[in-house]
Structure 1
Amino acid sequence: MGSNADSSSRRSRRNTPPDAPPVVLPHVVITAAETDALEVTVDGAAFPPPAEGQAWTRGTFGALLDAITKDRTVAVRIEVRESDGTVFTDLIHARKPTPPESAETEPRQPGGKHTKPKQAPELVEVTGEGFVPGEDIAVALIVAHTDATGTGHARALLDARRLAGLLDDGAGEVVLLGRVSGTVQVRRQP
């Protein structure tokens, strides 16, 4: 009797119906050659580059991840096999799609006397180098994340209004942290 209660208790804690199929992520295998070329398969099927006559390379790693994940709308399991036998695995999580900007397409609705008009954000650019192409970059005061470009550079656009209070309090530094490489870039903001 205790085992049935334990079983149903576990099911209710996970909120998973007993007959629900398991979650399966696409499995991406990227095999790197010494020539910088990448051979890519998704669930065992070849994943060709976007244009005939081109090849996936380390320099196109970010574009490759975007193509496989459909601009990060699909979560995938990535396995990178280096030519020296080293294997790296990671999960690329899907991001919530950004809602379309309706302010420009829809007429403004009259608001109450306390409604404030939305202002466009004033962006501050923070850059750094030395990251692994395509790696996830943490932006701290952790207010955002960005990805490294195909050349290993990172770029983050931050809302200056959101940072104003934090920077006025003496926290005038922004940190870029490579989640794979461990590269840390600290930038002082004016």
Structure 2
Amino acid sequence: MRKSEPESVPVSIPFVVLDVHADGTVAVTVDGKPLEPDPFAPRWRRSSFGQIIDRATNDRTTAARVEVRESDGTSFTDIIAPRRRRAPQPKPEAEKPAPLPVFFTVEGDGFVPGEDVAVAVITGHTDAAGTGAARALIDPARLAPDAAGGVVEVLLFGRISGTTIIRRLP
């Protein structure tokens, strides 16, 4: 007994014909049936090609064979492929609000009023106040503990006075 094989079904794609007239208007058929523009819309024109293809292919979800017949007797044929379907994007999980950063304050005296004070673990620079005091706000997210047991030190260095303040962060 022979295995029965399913019958092959011929592949069929819509056949779109655009007959371009000398005045630039276009008559369109899909598989021999007229495809008219929307009611009250102007007649199809050469510039309507994209709209015609979108309508004939259900917004390019199916392929179509397109033949354009020009008024001078020339013609060309092409296959319009459907757009690739994108996999649906997974829905993002409910995002947890990011924790607010905790800042540490490092202060020291002895700076020249208005001098530039370097901050290290270098995260930026700050200016000394009019009283000669300086302070820096340190974002712990930007700090990396050193290899010596996780101790983080911050240095304030006055670029004019040479004042150096070293503090350990808690």
Scaled by the length of structure 1, the TM-score of the pair is 0.44
More helix by share: 1
Scaled by the length of structure 2, the TM-score of the pair is 0.48
